[in-house]
Structure 1
Amino acid sequence: MIGWYVHHHGYGHLSRFLAVQPHLRVPVAAFSSLPRPAGLDGAVPWTQLPPDADVVVQPDGSLCDPREADPTARGHLHWAPHGHPGHRARLAGIAEAAVARDLRVLVADVSAEVAVFARLLGLRTVVVTQPGDRTDAPHALAYDLADRILAPWAHGIVPSAALADRGDRVAWTGGVSRYDGRAASLPLPGRSVLFLGRTLEPEVRATAAAALSARGWTVDAIGHDAASRVDDPWPLLSSRTVVVSAAGQNSVADLAAAGARAVVIAQERPFDEQQRTADALRSAGLARVAPADVSAEELVAHVEGAAGDSPDWSRWQVAGAARRFAEAVEAMLP
């Protein structure tokens, strides 16, 4: 059986797991702080792990604030606070499942500590990497111990210094999108734009939307708050003239699946992940890139310019990426 750790920051890691899981030919057990997702195959065990970043009361009545408990082990780890029961319980739960379910491989998407722990358990370890400057000590340790490193983008399109000396263990799968193979909706008549997610400040989005509407554009905005969320954004994503999106790995893979003309805005993330991705998209001519502090006037210009673009999203290699990802994981089974 394969174990799979799904990181709880955002929903990109979960989306990747849900896209890959149907392609796995062997059973998989998942571990995450996130609750079990709706629609997951009922045969897949889902272990919801306790939190390890909250302040807890110790048996003696004292408080344990993990931020003050040497969580990085003097910079050698990302997060392993002293004395936190949730942290111990998380790793104990993974270890227990490794024995009870006879795990042979563990996919860490993403956690340096889980990757290292899996290797210490003697499991074949698959580490999912991301763009950005990941040459720090914790990442280096995880990558050095990994039996396989999976990069969910096309080889050569996003530079990564962390992978430069580890290429013999890296598999570039292409961008993994839940929409791979799904037919696009018919284009909306006229010019239309979709503002996707919490990419813009509300005032900038509203002002840009008003200006574009005045120029004859149809404007939609989804995912920026609870009221604007939709269960299935694909019909909008695949039918609008231009999409304005963040530069996260799943967002970009979805843009590629839709063949979208896009304006991407890198959000602040650890290790400059989205900025490095946005830079790669600009260099490859796949999307227009606007700064995080873009004005409404500048955004309108970017959107109208993008309407005439013809990006070759095949370069992101989304077609078949989830299957290739699954095959790379299964190849580690003894």
Structure 2
Amino acid sequence: MVIGWYIHHHGYGHVARFLAVQPHLRCPVVAFSSMARPDELDPAVDWVRLPTDADVVEGPDGESHDPRDADPTARGHLHWAPHDHPGHRARLARIAAVASERDLRAFVVDVSAEVVAFARLLGLRTVAVTQPGTRTDAPHALAYALADRIVAPWAHGAVPRAGLSAHGDRAVWTGGVSRYEGRARTERSAKRSVLFLGRVLEPEVRAHATAEFSARGWVVRAVGHDDASRVDDPWPLITGSTVVVSAAGQNSVADLAAAGARAVVIAQDRPFDEQHHTAEALERWGLARRAEQGVGAADLVALVERAAEDAPDWSRWQVAGAARRLAEAVEAVLP
């Protein structure tokens, strides 16, 4: 039996989750995404590159047509299904064709309400990966109602989700899924150090905070805030730093949990307030300090210095075994 897996193309989090779970799957899997195939993916996994469906296209009249102006939400019933977009039509046709050619039996969707509905209409056993936030709108309600299983990749009870309350018999909380689960940690240096991870600070704030930390004897590192600062493997920096300043996305938080990091999280604005809900949960459970998105340099330095004395119990985020549990939840829907 073959499983299909749809990977949303925004950011790296969805593909990172797939890369963490795929080795635990006992069945063959075909991945679908608009993203390029990851270099580190197992060569045995088929990767189907889907056309994009959000670009401006030229119509038969020679005029440019923006899909945002083509009733993409179907009057609020969907998130994205624009009229007359060839890429949107082609990507769904490609999914249907491969589902038939490969005789897919189950389909994991991370994430898209429309693809959940489409997969279920194809008669596939459908697993919807969900995220934190206020997801009680009509498209999410439809996806949850149709899915054979709903997977929440965070610790049960951490982030309240009213939208899942009616589907408790089909919802599975796996704990946070990290690509670093089980990897040895780098020993922290005796000298205090802070890591700015990703695009969490405005350049001016980062520069002022760096100067203030340096004046206080801290070593400051910053990675991932632009193309030049990207690193292939941030794990040694995450585990070796006294405090990590990070966004509050699901993969970032799972990586912090795997590292046992002392952290300050800055929730980024995302649809449905996903990161704000997660940051509040981390603060409530005593796992990380929370800063507002517009935090100033002085306030950030004070938060980091307090976080350096914390002893968070990251085992509560249940990263250990989470990727395996997600794989088991997926394979449990198979006939």
Provide the TM-score with structure 1 as the length reference. Answer: 0.99
Select between 21-30 and 63-72 the one with higher mean Cα deviation: 63-72
Residues 124-273 of structure 1: matches in 2 within 5 Å?
124-273=125-274
Q: Quick one: which amino acid aligns to residue 150 of structure 2?
A: I
Q: Is the 8 A contact 1:192 1:240 kept in 2?
A: yes
SS in 1 for 2:290: strand
Query: Which contiguous aligned blocks of 4+ residues in structure 1 show a shift greater than 6 angstroms?
Result: none
1:84-120 Cα offsets, whole Å, 9 max, x none, are 0000000000000100010000000000000000000
SS in 1 for 2:240: coil
Q: Quick one: which amino acid aligns to residue 108 of structure 1?
A: V
SS in 1 for 2:169: helix
1:281-334 Cα offsets, whole Å, 9 max, x none, are 011110000000100000000000000000000000000100000111011111
How far apart are the structure 2 equivalents of 1:164 and 1:279?
Answer: 20
Residues 1-334 of structure 1: matches in 2 within 5 Å?
1-334=2-335
1:260-295 Cα offsets, whole Å, 9 max, x none, are 000000000000000000010011110000000100
Shift of 1:226: 0.8
How far apart are the structure 2 equivalents of 1:329 and 1:114?
Answer: 16
How far apart are the structure 1 equivalents of 2:196 and 2:55?
Answer: 34
Q: Quick one: which amino acid aligns to residue 24 of structure 1?
A: L
SS in 2 for 1:171: strand
How far apart are the structure 2 equivalents of 1:187 and 1:253?
Answer: 19
Shift of 1:61: 2.4
Q: Quick one: which amino acid aligns to residue 267 of structure 2?
A: A
Q: Quick one: which amino acid aligns to residue 226 of structure 1?
A: D
SS in 1 for 2:256: helix
Shift of 1:62: 3.5
How far apart are the structure 2 equivalents of 1:293 and 1:58?
Answer: 42
How far apart are the structure 1 equivalents of 2:242 and 2:322?
Answer: 25
Select between 54-63 and 180-189 the one with higher mean Cα deviation: 54-63
How far apart are the structure 2 equivalents of 1:301 and 1:48?
Answer: 46
Shift of 1:131: 0.2
How far apart are the structure 1 equivalents of 2:190 and 2:225?
Answer: 25
Q: Quick one: which amino acid aligns to residue 111 of structure 1?
A: S
Shift of 1:80: 0.1
Segments of 5+ residues of structure 1 without an aligned counterpart are none
How far apart are the structure 1 equivalents of 2:166 and 2:282?
Answer: 24
How far apart are the structure 1 equivalents of 2:92 and 2:12?
Answer: 22
Q: Quick one: which amino acid aligns to residue 258 of structure 2?
A: A
Q: Is the 8 A contact 1:263 1:287 kept in 2?
A: yes
Q: Is the 8 A contact 1:64 1:83 kept in 2?
A: no
Shift of 1:201: 0.4
CA RMSD of the aligned region, Å? 0.7
SS in 1 for 2:166: coil
Q: Is the 8 A contact 1:288 1:306 kept in 2?
A: yes
How far apart are the structure 1 equivalents of 2:277 and 2:91?
Answer: 31
How far apart are the structure 2 equivalents of 1:244 and 1:60?
Answer: 50
How far apart are the structure 2 equivalents of 1:236 and 1:158?
Answer: 28
Segments of 5+ residues of structure 2 without an aligned counterpart are none
